[in-house]
């Protein structure tokens, strides 16, 4: 084949790859609610459309979960590292986890596949 044909083929493949990448990276709709799971047991299912604050106290520690403006966050935690608090307010994506206190916040509703969850 001629050089010009190869350039067109490569440019076409690159254009398709870039288009698919942009489509896959677009954020999906926000979640409907969040499940609060502690030590493998479902404690609460909180809707994200109602502002709420819940305190979860277990033998491992205490977490304060705040739902505000359609987003959820761990606003207080007794764990030493506070990674769960650093996540901030979220309305979609990967779970919010406080490993020392064995707390998981899992989003509900139709969640698209993203780069975090695979």
Question: Is 33-108 a CATH 1.20.1440.230 domain?
Answer: no
Full-model pTM: 0.69
When pLDDT is cut at 50, 70 and 90, the band that residue 13 belongs to is very high
- Give me the pLDDT at residue 118, please: 47
Q: How far apart are CA 58 and CA 50, in angstroms?
A: 25
Q: Are 85 and 100 in contact (CB under 8 A)?
A: no
Strands (E) located in 4-117: 33-38, 41-47, 52-57, 62-68, 71-77, 96-98, 103-108
Q: Are 44 and 37 in contact (CB under 8 A)?
A: no
Give tens-digit pLDDT for 25-38: 877 777 889 999 98
Give tens-digit pLDDT for 58-101: 888 999 999 999 899 999 999 999 999 998 998 887 889 999 99
């Amino acid at each position: 084949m001629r050089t010009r044909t190869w350039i067109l083929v490569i440019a076409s493949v690159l254009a398709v790859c870039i288009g698919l990448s942009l489509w896959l990276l677009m954020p999906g709709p926000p979640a409907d609610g969040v499940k609060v799971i502690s030590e493998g047991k479902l404690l609460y299912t909180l809707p994200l459309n109602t502002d709420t604050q819940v305190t979860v106290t277990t033998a491992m520690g205490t977490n304060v979960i705040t739902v505000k403006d359609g987003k959820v966050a761990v606003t207080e935690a007794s764990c030493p590292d506070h990674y769960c608090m650093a996540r901030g307010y979220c309305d979609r994506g990967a779970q919010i986890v406080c490993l020392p206190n064995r707390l998981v916040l899992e989003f509900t509703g139709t969640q698209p596949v993203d780069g975090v969850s695979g």
